[in-house]
A and B are shown apart, each in its own frame.
Chain A
Amino acid sequence: MLSGVRVLDLSGEPGWLAGRILADLGADVVKVEPPGGDRIARRGPYLRDIEDPERSLAWLVLQGGKRAITFDGTVPAARWARAQLFAWADVLIESFASPVRTDWGLEADRTAAEHPRLVHCSITPFGRTGPYAEFRGGALVVAAMGGGTVHAGDRPPVRCTAPHAVLRAGPEAALGIVMALHAQAATGRGGLVDVSLQECIAHGTPTPGSPREIWAARDGWVLFRLHDDARRDGGLRALRAWLAESGPGSDGPLSIGADLEHALASFFGARTCAELGEGALARGIPLVSCNDAAALVAHPQLRAQELFTTLELPACDAAIELPGAFARSTGYPIGVRRRAPRIGEHQEEVFAAAGIGRAECEKLAAEGAI
Chain B
Amino acid sequence: MAAPIYAGVCMLEFGSSPTGALATGFFAEQGATVIRIESRPWRGPAEQDPAGGVLLDAGRHRVAIDLATDDGIVLALRLVERADVVVDGLAPGTLAGFGLAPERLLLRKPDLILVSVSPFGQAGPQRDARGEHAEAAAIAGFSPLPGSSDGAPASAGDPLSPRYVALLIGAALLARRRGGRGQHIDVSQVETGVYSLGEWRVREPAGPTSAGRAARSCDEENAPHGLYPCHGDEAWIAISVSDDEDWDALLAAMGDPEWATQPRFADRASRRRHADELDAGIAAWTRDFAPYELMAGLQAAGLAAGVVQHDAALRRDPQLAHRGHYVRLADPIRGSVVAERAGFRITGQAAAFEASSPARAEDTDAVLQERLGLDPQEVAALRARGAWA
A residues sitting closer than 8 Å to B (CB atoms) are 1-2, 4, 13, 17, 21, 25, 40, 43, 45, 47-49, 57-58, 60-62, 108, 112, 126-127, 129-133, 135-147, 149-152, 155-164, 166-176, 178-183, 185-187, 191-208, 213-214, 216, 221-223, 225, 229-231, 235, 281, 284-297, 299-302, 304-305, 307, 310, 318-323, 325-332
Contact = CB atoms under 8 A, between A and B. Distances in A.
Contacts of B6: 182
A301 B125 contact: yes
B141 A21 contact: no
A174 B192 CA distance: 14
A162 B344 contact: no
A200 B135 CA distance: 21
Interface residues of B, number: 140
A168 B343 contact: yes
A328 B124 contact: no
18 contacts: A61-B198, A135-B299, A141-B304, A143-B238, A145-B238, A145-B308, A151-B154, A162-B145, A162-B216, A171-B166, A175-B167, A191-B347, A199-B320, A204-B22, A293-B141, A296-B139, A304-B125, A325-B195
Given A163-B217, A296-B141, A332-B183, A301 B201 contact: no
B344 A297 contact: no
Contacts of A191: 346-348
A160 to B, nearest CB: 5
A66 B147 CA distance: 33
A27 B203 CA distance: 26
B30 A318 contact: no
B60 to A, nearest CB: 15
Interface string B155-172: 111111011101110111
Contacts of B123: 304-305
Contact of B205 (A180, A182, A186, A319): A319
Nearest to B188: A305
Given A129-B322, A294-B209, A326 B192 contact: yes
Contact of B323 (A112, A127, A201, A325): A127
B337 interface: no
A197 to B, nearest CB: 8
A146 B342 contact: no
Given A158-B148, A171-B163, A198 B320 contact: yes
Contact of B217 (A139, A158, A186, A304): A139
Given A291-B138, A307-B191, A62 B152 contact: no
A214 B171 contact: no
A302 B123 CA distance: 10
A286 B131 contact: yes
Interface string B334-350: 00000011111111110
